[in-house]
């Protein structure tokens, strides 16, 4: 949820650089649509975290950012939009996975394989 803005911006950049006839573009647009549905909840999430942790809404210090990013499960589940966001996140995960698979085909290699070998 917290990072949905960065993912949204990255997908916009990717789509902007792809020709309309590229098959990858359709998959990227599906991923963007899914992320957009999740992104809608971001402001509510930030407001919820600000209230739950008594944070200044304008604060961007590391403590405030960490409070908004790493939240205990029971606090997350108490958020009024949890069920809706969870459904949206499941869709995003599926669409991003599809995009990642097509990116492997497009690029000729899987750059995430390096992360898996290091783990």
CB-CB contact of 46 with 36 (8 Å): no
Q: Which of 35-44, 94-103, 108-117 is predicted least confidently?
A: 108-117
pLDDT digits 0-9 by tens, 12-36: 999 999 999 988 999 999 999 999 9
117 confidence band (pLDDT: 50, 70, 90): low
Q: Which residues of 63-94 are buried (b: 16+ CB within 10 A; e: fewer)?
A: ebeebbeebeeeebeebeebeebeebbebbee
61 confidence band (pLDDT: 50, 70, 90): very high
116 confidence band (pLDDT: 50, 70, 90): low
């Amino acid at each position: 949820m917290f990072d949905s803005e960065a993912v949204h911006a990255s997908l916009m950049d990717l789509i902007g650089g792809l020709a309309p006839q590229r098959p990858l573009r359709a998959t990227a647009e599906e991923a963007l649509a899914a992320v957009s549905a999740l992104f809608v909840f971001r402001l509510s999430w930030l407001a919820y975290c600000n209230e739950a942790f008594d944070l200044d809404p304008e604060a961007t210090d590391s403590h405030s950012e960490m409070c908004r990013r790493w939240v205990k499960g029971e606090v997350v589940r108490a958020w009024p939009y949890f069920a809706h966001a969870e459904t949206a996140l499941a869709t995003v995960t599926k669409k991003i996975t599809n995009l990642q698979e097509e990116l492997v085909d497009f690029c000729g290699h899987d750059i995430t394989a390096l992360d898996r070998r290091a783990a």
